[in-house]
Amino acid sequence: MTAGRGMQLSRERLLEAYRSMRTIRDFEERVHEEFEAGNLPGFVHLYAGEEASAVGVCSHLDDGDRICSTHRGHGHSIAKGCDVEGMWKELHGSSEGLCGGKGGSMHVADLSKGMMGANGIVGGGPPLALGAAMAAKTLKTGKVAVTFTGDGGSNQGTTFESMNFASVFRLPVLFVFENNGYAEATSSSWSVACGDIVNRAPAFGMPGTQVDGFDFFSVHDAAGEAVERARSGGGPTLIEVRFGRFYGHHEGDNQSYRAAGEVDALRRDRDCLKIFRRRVTEAGLLDDAGLDAVDADVAGLMDRCVEAARAAPRPTPDQLTADVYVSY
Amino acid sequence: MTAGRGMQLSRERLLEAYRSMRTIRDFEERVHEEFEAGNLPGFVHLYAGEEASAVGVCSHLDDGDRICSTHRGHGHSIAKGCDVEGMWKELHGSSEGLCGGKGGSMHVADLSKGMMGANGIVGGGPPLALGAAMAAKTLKTGKVAVTFTGDGGSNQGTTFESMNFASVFRLPVLFVFENNGYAEATSSSWSVACGDIVNRAPAFGMPGTQVDGFDFFSVHDAAGEAVERARSGGGPTLIEVRFGRFYGHHEGDNQSYRAAGEVDALRRDRDCLKIFRRRVTEAGLLDDAGLDAVDADVAGLMDRCVEAARAAPRPTPDQLTADVYVSY
Amino acid sequence: MARVISMRKAINEALFQVMEEDPTVILLGEDIAGGEGSPGDDDAWGGDMGITKGLQPRFGKERVMDTPISESAIIGTAVGAATSGLRPVAELMFVDFMGVCFDQIMNQAAKFRYMFGGKARTPVVIRTQIGAGYNAAAQHSQCLYPVFAHIPGIKCVVPSSAYDAKGLLIQAVRDDDPVIFFEHKVLYDEVRDDVPEEMYAVPFGEANIVREGSDCTIVAIARMVHKAGEAAEALAGEGVECEIVDPRTISPLDEDAILESVEQTGRLVVVDEAYPRCNMAADIAALAAREAFGALRAPVRTVSPPHTPVPFAPELEAAFIPSAGKIADAVRRTVGYAA
Amino acid sequence: MARVISMRKAINEALFQVMEEDPTVILLGEDIAGGEGSPGDDDAWGGDMGITKGLQPRFGKERVMDTPISESAIIGTAVGAATSGLRPVAELMFVDFMGVCFDQIMNQAAKFRYMFGGKARTPVVIRTQIGAGYNAAAQHSQCLYPVFAHIPGIKCVVPSSAYDAKGLLIQAVRDDDPVIFFEHKVLYDEVRDDVPEEMYAVPFGEANIVREGSDCTIVAIARMVHKAGEAAEALAGEGVECEIVDPRTISPLDEDAILESVEQTGRLVVVDEAYPRCNMAADIAALAAREAFGALRAPVRTVSPPHTPVPFAPELEAAFIPSAGKIADAVRRTVGYAA
Ligand SMILES: Cc1ncc(C[n+]2csc(CCOP(=O)(O)OP(=O)(O)O)c2C)c(N)n1
Ligand SMILES: Cc1ncc(C[n+]2csc(CCOP(=O)(O)OP(=O)(O)O)c2C)c(N)n1
Ligand SMILES: [Mg+2]
Ligand SMILES: [Mg+2]
């Protein structure tokens, strides 16, 4: 692990990071509840437990930088600054949702925030991230692109070829592989032939690093280095983030493929929020009161969002055929 | 390079290998002539200069083993035992061609010889080779599959994911990358981000080796080891064969992307047939007279084939709609 | 004696039986068992919709394989193995994922027989989910079978009943051509009908006359057969008798059955959940306009979704899917047509 | 003053002009310059058919890029860049290669605008070669545009003349939606016509009435427009006057122009080089059977290849491609139809 650059962040930046992680966690816990209660339609994949990855990476990015996400996109969206209420409404299919209710959980996007979309296609994001990076390179904006991919998605051909392509053109792009141990029910230790995903970096002529995804600072520091390299013309980087998800693959998954007690242990010992709190309070960077205030604040926000989303207006019939093509 | 197992081949086997390489060379030289004379329709890609690869690999295989080839498939087909006259007729589009005139140069195939087809799609072969290997594994036949891919094709997503897949299932398959320096006009030193293709083997959890493709023995020995490993359940191997082609990408290519004198130098100093001859005669394994006799024999065969192909019957109109589906 | 079972159960049973019957049948796909390499249950999922549940425990990991997420490799493995002595049944979880593996289907499997001069056989089956109805949004709700029907060399199966699903799947596995087997995800549980326990095959290219009637022919596909049935019920109350033709396979297509019905009714409505352009509704309407023109007494109406991606919001999705109401309206316009 | 130039030259010129006009236009594709990293000429190929020749020397490697053989990455780069401020023109060398990159087109580019609630614009152009005629066999001779026309959210352009090719390509680059630009490889040199030197745009969704006539409407696409022209010449000698409608874009499709013509002639033949099932011929025939039924005085005939892959042998390929003779026969049958 690199020496703690993240630990040198300002109090404000640290609180912001914590707030972002807490917002994701609360969002996902509440989505879980709402889904169980039958209030949410569609397929939903929760990011709870993985917050340090999205936030650790996105804390280096601004609205001009771009990310491509996966089916498990809520966390990336929030970390990248998407409007939380708009996301809630989107999950409900409201016309006030971030995508007017036409996308849903798997297609949350806000290009104005640099969030190019969750993606229902495993391996759909990496080629698109090349494009954002190519635009940054061509237009010399100094911006970067990040594509988040799961361990399962790391085995998709589109992902592999994107890495080679990025390297050939020295594109400012990060390939962040979120290895949570499973693709649906299939183990990553089985599906990734070379063991750790980071072992693939040399095959694509790029530096690679593996980080502890339960620790914000571990992700933050590796991503910071990679983003700097990308911004300064040094080309792509592969980052493998190792951790585990707190819920099933999607809502409804009974998770019988997991070991007994696996999730309980994760929640107890590997909760990135708890670990973050411990590290910053032990180092005297933040105090519990400040963090508790964030927790309360976020809980309030989430209450308001859930309520607003339930009451939000529904799409009108004319929306069915709107926005297929540009009208001139 | 591994110690010369190939040099311990019997006289017959050596002559057979030489004959096969000579047949490919003559085939290609004559195709070049016939194409220039306007006697051949379609797109044609010549394998001349690369003979040691096809023959070095296929000399370990029998009809039950399977290969998948590329758009540059004549050499692989001949090395795998396809009927040369049938191939000639196929290139002419005769109904007596190996594929009844319906495939042509880019789709030469003979499953009864284990030749699963040239392929017009770059990256089309590797996934198919997995299937042949899977059948061998499931049916416990001890057979293997080989997929030949170019340096350009090494960058295709389907190729990458096939390597991971093969490793995960420990399939008896060889990934032979024929790195002739170019994909059409684009250099492999540019398009393969990690420099040498062999550097990718670790990313897919398989052994990899790089060989001198101008030298039959170098290819032969590496392939022998890999085939043995595959047959005995040891899984896939990556072999990078380095060499150069004697002609353009396809017939009609003016090759202005190449260095002046490049091809002349290859023909002069790196002709696998000359190198083979030198090695076996210097080692006293074969003599010039024996090799000359093969040359004469093959030249005669080629004359007869060219003539037969020119005179071969044309497809009848009913062939247009035959063999789309099985008729019951 | 037949039992009433769901299409879900019918497909599962067909897979059990073909695997019992023929040791060269193998199954592969993502999480079709669901648990490979994981610490818990190896057959945790039995496919993302549970359709292949129980097959791996019964037939073992050598014949029922979870795979990495590598659709080109999955399909390629199945296709290559089919030319090498096996009869693989691969699962493409959702047809929406065809975009990362279509080459292995359309340029490889579909073309071998013809391109190799009749010398190759490629007995591969690809099972895949189609259709809207679960608010799964734009990338998990498409039909896309017209894209496959467009390609010569592949057979396309679109069952609408549990009975047909079982018999057609058995036929698909026995068939020597590449077959794409489209399963409408809503039908897995929505449809339950009489299904014999023993093995039987439903032949390809033979439409099923689901309902007889003399006023108007409705050709409908997959889930739309049931929507058409609802419409026909309603119309019967108005004195309009519809004949419903379910092609069951769209490639090959039973043109004769369709034309024969149109010759009798003189009217045709085609219902297709696939996007409206270049879809099966257009294909069949064109067939009638070409071959049954003399019999036609009214315009051929098509009922398809609008030309849009599938929207997420439940009310928009509901409006996207052709409904019994829209079908009935189309029939009414057709029957009420005055030249 | 207009000059007579080939479609090859017209496309090349359009690319030069759009790149001059708009610095956000970039080009990428395999060997579109042809020589990256190689010791010799960097612009050795200018595309596998030479269409993009001279563009890299003029606009530099930052804007005209050779790529590795990674079609998903090529298309993805273009699509992603199009949402990020550029107007990329990507080349998919042959449409036959869509099978390794279709997801980036159909699930990504095509759906962004709708799926993201109208908030995304994806001004990407994908140029690709279609068609038989060069004995390039089953994997390099397909049309496949019906597959793209089936997908909502992408516009499909099928030029038949040098004039249209230039104007439609300029329009494609200026358009804010994903556009697939299908270039028939035989037309590159087979077609030469009047093309202004200055820039001009041909709008999408506006058919071109290539020839006027009152006896029968022929709708034809891309190279088939010329085959239809030959047929019409021959038929004129027999006293049969055909009206030829070239849709120029098949998505959006100028339905009005087609229907208007059919209303006048009462007869329709549709000619499409794409495989016959679920193709544009079926699409347009269905349109007429639905919307112009009252005007139709004869069955709508379609002239398409047989439902087979494209064969290699020259005489088989020639028999595969719809010919002027077959088109004329279809018109004769249509005109001679007696109810
Ligand atoms: C091309 C494609 N194949 C398969 C799927 C079905 N699918 C959705 S998520 C998923 C597992 C993804 O696993 P991973 O990449 O590890 O991400 P995680 O869910 O663990 O975050 C699968 C197989 C899909 N959506 N797209
Ligand atoms: C999917 C696909 N992309 C592009 C092409 C066009 N193409 C044919 S051969 C070729 C170059 C292949 O280079 P390489 O793999 O190095 O093989 P080589 O020709 O050198 O033997 C290209 C780009 C194709 N046939 N298929
Ligand atoms: Mg995972
Ligand atoms: Mg090469």
CATH number of the domain at D134, please.
Answer: 3.40.50.970
Task: Give a yes or no: residue D201 inside a domain.
Answer: no
Percent of chain C with pLDDT over 70: 99
Percent of chain C with pLDDT over 90: 99
Q: Which residues of B touch C80 (CB under 8 A)?
A: 68, 116, 127-135, 145
Task: Give a yes or no: residue C202 inside a domain.
Answer: no
Q: Which residues of B touch A156 (CB under 8 A)?
A: 157, 161
Distance CA C235, CA C239 (A): 6
Percent of chain A with pLDDT over 70: 98
If asked whether residues D106 and D244 sit together in one domain, one would say: no
pLDDT in tens, D176-188: 999 999 999 999 9
Q: Is-cis flag, bond preceding D252, omega within 30?
A: yes
Tell whether C149 lies on the interface with D, counting CB pairs under 8 A: yes
Cβ of C302 within 8 Å of Cβ of D279? The answer is no
If asked whether residues C254 and C331 sit together in one domain, one would say: yes
Q: Into how many domains does chain C fold? A: 2
The pLDDT score that the predictor gives to residue C2 is 66
Mean pLDDT confidence for D67-85: 98
The distance of Cα B256 from the centroid of its chain, to the nearest Å, equals: 25
Measured CA to CA in angstroms, residue C52 lies from A34, A86, C29, C166, D15 at distances of 30, 38, 10, 13, 52
Nearest Cβ partner for D69 among B93, B107, B156: B156
Residue B44 near residue B22 (C-beta atoms within 8 A): no
Task: Give a yes or no: residue C201 inside a domain.
Answer: no
**Cα-based angle A281, A25, A211 (whole degrees, multiple of 5):** 65
Tell whether A156 lies on the interface with B, counting CB pairs under 8 A: yes
Catalytic residue among C140, C150, C226, C307: C140
Which protein residues have a CB closer than 5 Å to ligand 4 (ion)?
A: B 150-151, 180, 182-183
pLDDT in tens, A271-306: 999 999 999 999 999 999 999 999 999 999 999 999
Helix A216-231, helix A11-36: angle, nearest 10: 110
pLDDT in tens, D130-156: 999 999 999 999 999 999 999 999 999
Q: Which of A105, A107, A184, A326 to mutate to test the interface with C (most CBs of C within 10 A)?
A: A184
Mean pLDDT of all residues belonging to chain C: 98
The pLDDT score that the predictor gives to residue C317 is 98
| CB-based burial label for C201 (10 Å; 0-12, 13-18, 19+) | middle
If asked whether residues D93 and D55 sit together in one domain, one would say: yes
Residue C228 near residue C242 (C-beta atoms within 8 A): yes
Q: Which residues of A touch B202 (CB under 8 A)?
A: 194, 199, 202-203
Of the residues C169, C196, C223, which one is the last residue of a structural domain? Answer: C196
Residue A153 near residue A122 (C-beta atoms within 8 A): yes
Task: Give a yes or no: residue D144 inside a domain.
Answer: yes
Query: Residues 11 to 50 of B: which have CB under 8 A from any D CB?
Result: 41-43
Residue C108 near residue B90 (C-beta atoms within 8 A): no
Task: Give a yes or no: residue C287 inside a domain.
Answer: yes
Task: Give a yes or no: residue D202 inside a domain.
Answer: no
Instruction: List the chains bordering chain D where 3 or more Cβ pairs fall under 8 Å.
Output: A, B, C
State whether the beta carbon of D69 lies less than 6 angstroms from ligand 2. yes
Residue D276 near residue D308 (C-beta atoms within 8 A): no
Percent of chain D with pLDDT over 90: 99
If asked whether residues C50 and C168 sit together in one domain, one would say: yes
The distance of Cα D262 from the centroid of its chain, to the nearest Å, equals: 23
Q: Which residues contact B289 (CB under 8 A, 6 or more apart)?
A: none
Quick check: helix, strand or coil at residue D217?
strand
The pLDDT score that the predictor gives to residue C152 is 98
Task: Please report, as a single letter, which amino acid is at residue A249.
Answer: H
Q: Residue A327: pLDDT above 70?
A: no
Nearest Cβ partner for B121 among D97, D309, D316: D97
Residue D152 near residue C309 (C-beta atoms within 8 A): yes
Cβ of A103 within 8 Å of Cβ of C44? The answer is no
Q: How far is the CA of B158 from the centre of ligand 3 (A)?
A: 21
- The β-bridge relationship of strands C216-220 and C192-195 is unpaired
Residue C4 near residue C188 (C-beta atoms within 8 A): no
Tell whether D309 lies on the interface with C, counting CB pairs under 8 A: yes
The pLDDT score that the predictor gives to residue A5 is 84
Mean pLDDT of all residues belonging to chain D: 98
Helix H or strand E segment including A14? helix A11-36
3-state secondary structure labels for all residues of chain C = CCEEEEHHHHHHHHHHHHHHHCCCEEEEECCCCCCCCCCCCCCCCCCCCCCCCCHHHHHCCCCEEECCCCHHHHHHHHHHHHCCCCEEEEEEEEHHHHHHCHHHHHHHHCCHHHHCCCCCCCCCEEEEEECCCCCCCCCCCCCCHHHHHHCCCCEEECCCCHHHHHHHHHHHHHCCCCEEEEEECCHHHHCEEEECCCCCCCCCCCCEEEECCCCEEEEECCHHHHHHHHHHHHHHHCCCCEEEEECCEEECECHHHHHHHHHHHCCEEEECCCCCCCCHHHHHHHHHHHHCHHHCCCCCEEECCCCCCCCCCHHHHHHHCCCHHHHHHHHHHHHCCCC
Q: Which residues of B touch A191 (CB under 8 A)?
A: 164, 168
Residue D280 near residue D221 (C-beta atoms within 8 A): yes
If asked whether residues D48 and D148 sit together in one domain, one would say: yes
Could you tell me how many CB contacts below 8 A there are between chain C and chain D? 170
Distance CA B199, CA A202 (A): 7
Distance CA B186, CA B191 (A): 7
Tell whether D153 lies on the interface with A, counting CB pairs under 8 A: yes
Measured CA to CA in angstroms, residue C197 lies from B130, C55, C125, C170, C174 at distances of 35, 17, 22, 13, 18
If asked whether residues C152 and C182 sit together in one domain, one would say: yes
Residue A56 near residue A216 (C-beta atoms within 8 A): yes
Could you tell me how many CB contacts below 8 A there are between chain A and chain D? 150
Range of the domain at D290: 208-335
Cβ of B123 within 8 Å of Cβ of D312? The answer is no
State whether the beta carbon of A69 lies less than 6 angstroms from ligand 1. no
- Give the confidence band of A2 by pLDDT, cuts at 50, 70, 90: very low
Distance CA B94, CA B156 (A): 33
Q: How far is the CA of B253 from the centre of ligand 2 (A)?
A: 14
The distance of Cα D135 from the centroid of its chain, to the nearest Å, equals: 20
Distance CA A133, CA C41 (A): 42
Q: Which residues of C touch A122 (CB under 8 A)?
A: 69, 97
* Residue D75 in tokens: 């298309």
Closest Cα in chain A to D179: A325
Mean pLDDT confidence for A192-217: 98
Distance CA B176, CA A104 (A): 44
Q: What letter would DSSP give residue B115? A: B
pLDDT, averaged per 10 consecutive residues of chain B (328 residues), comes to 74 98 98 97 96 98 98 98 98 98 98 98 98 98 98 98 98 99 98 98 98 98 98 98 98 95 97 98 97 98 98 97 83
Distance CA D252, CA D184 (A): 19
Q: Residue C1: pLDDT above 70?
A: no
The pLDDT score that the predictor gives to residue C120 is 96
Of ligand 2's listed atoms, the one at least distance from the Cα of B72 is 21
The pLDDT score that the predictor gives to residue A1 is 39
Question: Hey, how many other C-beta atoms are within 10 angstroms of the C-beta on A303?
Answer: 12
Helix H or strand E segment including A147? strand A145-150
Q: Which residues contact D78 (CB under 8 A, 6 or more apart)?
A: A131, D28, D88, D89, D90, D124, D126
What CATH number does the domain containing C219 carry?
A: 3.40.50.920
Q: Which residues of B touch C120 (CB under 8 A)?
A: 109, 111
Of the residues D147, D166, D196, which one is the last residue of a structural domain? Answer: D196
Pick the CATH number of A8-313 from 3.40.50.1980, 3.40.50.300, 3.40.50.970, 1.10.10.10: 3.40.50.970
Distance CA B165, CA B169 (A): 6
Query: Residues 294 to 323 of A: which have CB under 8 A from any D CB?
Result: 322-323
Residue B121 near residue B157 (C-beta atoms within 8 A): no
Largest CA distance in chain C: 70
Percent of chain D with pLDDT over 70: 99
Q: Residue D339: pLDDT above 90?
A: no
Catalytic residue among D140, D184, D226, D307: D140
Residue D289 near residue C289 (C-beta atoms within 8 A): yes
Mean pLDDT of all residues belonging to chain A: 97
pLDDT in tens, C91-124: 999 999 999 999 999 999 999 999 999 999 999 9
State whether the beta carbon of C75 lies less than 6 angstroms from ligand 1. no
Residue B40 near residue B101 (C-beta atoms within 8 A): no
Nearest Cβ partner for A326 among D62, D65, D121: D121
Q: Which of B95, B108, B128 to mutate to test the interface with C (most CBs of C within 10 A)?
A: B128
Alpha carbon nearest to ligand 1 atom 4, residue: A122
Closest Cα in chain A to B170: A193
Residue whose entry in the numeric block shows the structure tokens 């020995």: B221
Mean pLDDT confidence for A86-110: 98
Q: Residue B150: beta bridge partners?
A: B178
If asked whether residues C13 and C160 sit together in one domain, one would say: yes
Bigger pLDDT: D334 or D2?
D334
Task: Give a yes or no: residue C18 inside a domain.
Answer: yes
Q: Catalytic annotation on D307? A: no
Tell whether D93 lies on the interface with B, counting CB pairs under 8 A: no
* Residue B205 in tokens: 């959890």
Distance CA A123, CA A121 (A): 6
Task: Give a yes or no: residue D203 inside a domain.
Answer: no
If asked whether residues D136 and D270 sit together in one domain, one would say: no
Measured CA to CA in angstroms, residue C251 lies from A4, A12, C247, C284, D276 at distances of 62, 63, 9, 12, 12
Q: How far is the CA of C91 from the centre of ligand 2 (A)?
A: 29
Which of C28, C36, C69 most suits a substitution to test ligand 1, by most atoms within 8 Å of the C-beta?
C69
Residue D316 near residue B320 (C-beta atoms within 8 A): yes
If asked whether residues D144 and D25 sit together in one domain, one would say: yes
Cβ of C39 within 8 Å of Cβ of A262? The answer is yes
Q: Which residues contact D252 (CB under 8 A, 6 or more apart)?
A: A325, D155, D204, D205
Residue B239 near residue B209 (C-beta atoms within 8 A): yes
- Dihedral pair phi/psi, residue B66, rounded to 5°: -125, 145
The pLDDT score that the predictor gives to residue C125 is 99
The pLDDT score that the predictor gives to residue B133 is 98
Give buried/exposed letters for C296-333 (b at 16+ CB in 10 A, else e). Answer: bbbbbbbbbbebbbbbbbbbbbebbbbebebbbebbbe
* Residue C5 in tokens: 């079972």
If asked whether residues C155 and C255 sit together in one domain, one would say: no
- The β-bridge relationship of strands B182-183 and B186-187 is antiparallel
